[in-house]
């Protein structure tokens, strides 16, 4: 039997959380009800009252209620709930968490879920789950389930969906994964569709050398998650083949990973390989979604939902400077490897994004701004050549050995 935290605003959505708690009990597990409401009295009795959550945030609940400032109340509970939930998890008192919410409840409860480690079961049933969930999920493994109807009473549709949500969190806590490779050192790698052959071969070689390889899609949240894992201290090496997120960050695409992308390995002393994978492209949605200011640019329709835009020589020169500045922060062995025959599948000779002048601007700026003691290796072929992957692996293993010496 597992204990599952049922977290939510029990003043406005107490009936619904109580229904989920009953379904959890039917599955043989124990719900632990945590109230983060502030407006009215809770409609279901909590095991952890709202006063305790507010106190964890250093706030007096009575004074908070008296002011009747909903924004302040949400902020206080979003500060206290992570403290309470994290403490319960660290003490081994809960094995999963589920919540139901609209805007305020989703903000509070996903803030609490983000305080929990990756791998701890987390399920958020939300009215916001079909939109942009990045602010709520962050770099954690929060499952966002659309509520379809508002979380406002029980009806023929909400009963079905909430019962399924209860079943889902129960299934998550019941899942058992055999431990394999837990004793192997970890290498993280960045990948995009246009660098998949390179990273696939590199992964196979690194696994044969005794490493566990975790691959992250370079789509914004993937890069942020990879950086977060590096910061955690569990990573032995970084194979940053696909630095494309910086093209979106700088030019204005959809898949930027923030201004600190590429800093984690550098600042935390983790050996790394850095290449310009897919810096030839900026990502947008369907063709009609591309801002008008980019009219006349070179585009490639990757699929109906994804439009790629080629970076120009001027943009590439600036990207080279930015990446050099990030790599210059390195305190561990790092190598920059430049594939002169194309930085993606579609920038190879004869492909839609082949633009030697743009690549040359990228490479030139990167080398010009790079610290003199950081090695640069130029490879004559394409980034997806098997020989390029072999080169990346040899250099990364060498940097790891150098760091350990």
pLDDT band at 182 (very low <50, low <70, confident <90, very high): low
Rg (Cα) of the chain, in Å, rounded?
Answer: 24
Average pLDDT of the residues in 198-208: 97
Q: What is the pLDDT of residue 145?
A: 96
pLDDT band at 395 (very low <50, low <70, confident <90, very high): very high
Query: pTM for the complete prediction?
Result: 0.80
Q: What is the pLDDT of residue 39?
A: 83
Domain limits of the chain?
3-174, 186-404
The topology under which CATH files domain 186-404 is Rossmann fold (3.40.50)
- Share above pLDDT 90 across residues of the chain, in percent, rounded to a whole number: 86
pLDDT at position 180 over 80: no
Domains 3-174 and 186-404 share a fold: yes
- Residues 90-125 have pLDDT tens digits of 999 999 999 999 988 999 999 999 999 989 999 999
pLDDT at position 134 over 90: no
Average pLDDT of the residues in 357-368: 98
Average pLDDT of the residues in 151-176: 94
Strand partners, 122: 97
Q: What is the pLDDT of residue 301?
A: 93
Q: Specify whether the backbone of 75 is left (phi greater than 0), alpha (psi in -120 to 50) or beta.
A: alpha
Structure tokens at 72: 């302040």
Average pLDDT of the residues in 129-140: 88
- Residues 266-296 have pLDDT tens digits of 999 999 999 999 999 999 999 999 999 999 9
pLDDT at position 204 over 80: yes
pLDDT at position 339 over 80: yes
Structure tokens at 311: 């970076």
pLDDT at position 386 over 80: yes
Least confident of 22-26, 110-114, 135-139, 248-252: 135-139
Least confident of 16-25, 47-56, 133-142: 133-142
| Mean pLDDT of all residues belonging to the chain | 94
pLDDT at position 79 over 90: yes
- Residues 46-78 have pLDDT tens digits of 999 999 999 999 988 888 878 877 788 889 999
Q: What is the pLDDT of residue 58?
A: 93
- Adjacency order of strands within the sheet including 272-274: 212-217, 186-191, 235-240, 272-274, 334-339, 376-379
Structure tokens at 186: 């970890």
Q: What is the pLDDT of residue 288?
A: 92
Q: Specify whether the backbone of 262 is left (phi greater than 0), alpha (psi in -120 to 50) or beta.
A: left
Domain 3-174 has CATH 3.30.530.20: no
Average pLDDT of the residues in 168-185: 86
Of 240, 238, 250, 309, nearest to 275 by C-alpha is 240
The whole-angstrom separation of Cα 369 and Cα 381 is 23
- Residues 286-330 have pLDDT tens digits of 999 999 999 999 999 988 899 999 999 999 999 999 999 999 999
DSSP 8-state symbol, 196:
H
Residues 6+ apart with CB under 8 A from 402: 271, 333
Average pLDDT of the residues in 26-34: 97
pLDDT band at 192 (very low <50, low <70, confident <90, very high): very high
């Amino acid at each position: 039997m597992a204990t599952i935290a049922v977290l939510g605003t029990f003043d406005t959505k107490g009936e619904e959380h109580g229904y989920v708690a009953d379904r959890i009990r039917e599955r043989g597990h124990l719900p632990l009800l945590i109230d983060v409401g502030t407006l009215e009295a809770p409609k279901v009795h909590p095991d952890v009252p709202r006063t305790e959550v507010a106190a964890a945030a250093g706030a007096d609940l009575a004074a908070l209620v008296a002011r009747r400032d909903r924004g302040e109340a949400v902020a206080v509970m979003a500060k206290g709930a992570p403290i309470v939930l994290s403490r319960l998890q660290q003490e081994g008192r809960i094995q999963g968490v589920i919540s139901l919410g609209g805007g305020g409840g989703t903000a509070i409860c996903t803030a609490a879920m983000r305080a929990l480690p990756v791998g701890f079961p987390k399920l958020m049933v939300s009215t916001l789950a079909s939109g942009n969930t990045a602010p709520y999920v962050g770099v954690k493994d929060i499952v966002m389930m659309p509520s379809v109807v508002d979380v406002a009473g029980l009806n023929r549709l909400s009963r079905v969906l909430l019962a399924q949500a209860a079943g889902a969190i129960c299934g998550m806590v019941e899942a058992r994964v055999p431990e394999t490779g837990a004793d192997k050192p970890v290498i993280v790698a960045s990948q995009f569709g246009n660098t998949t052959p390179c990273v696939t071969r590199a992964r196979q070689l690194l696994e044969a050398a005794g490493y566990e390889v975790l691959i992250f899609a370079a789509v914004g949240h993937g890069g942020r998650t990879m950086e977060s894992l590096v910061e955690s201290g569990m990573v032995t090496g970084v194979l940053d083949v696909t630095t494309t997120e910086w093209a979106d960050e700088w030019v204005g695409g959809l898949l930027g990973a923030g201004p600190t992308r590429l800093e984690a390995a550098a600042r935390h002393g983790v050996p790394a390989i850095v290449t310009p994978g897919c810096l030839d492209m900026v990502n947008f949605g369907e063709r009609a979604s591309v801002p008008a200011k980019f009219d006349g640019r070179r585009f490639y329709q990757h699929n109906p939902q994804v439009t790629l835009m080629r970076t120009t020589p001027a943009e590439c020169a600036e990207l080279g400077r930015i990446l050099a500045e990030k790599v210059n922060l390195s305190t561990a062995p790092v190598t920059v490897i430049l594939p002169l025959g194309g930085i993606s599948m579609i920038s190879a000779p004869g492909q839609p994004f082949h633009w030697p002048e743009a690549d040359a601007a990228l490479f030139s700026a990167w080398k010009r701004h790079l610290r003199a003691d950081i090695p640069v290796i130029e490879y004559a072929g394409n980034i997806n050549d098997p020989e390029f992957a072999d080169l990346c692996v040899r250099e990364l293993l060498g940097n790891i050995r150098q760091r350990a010496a």
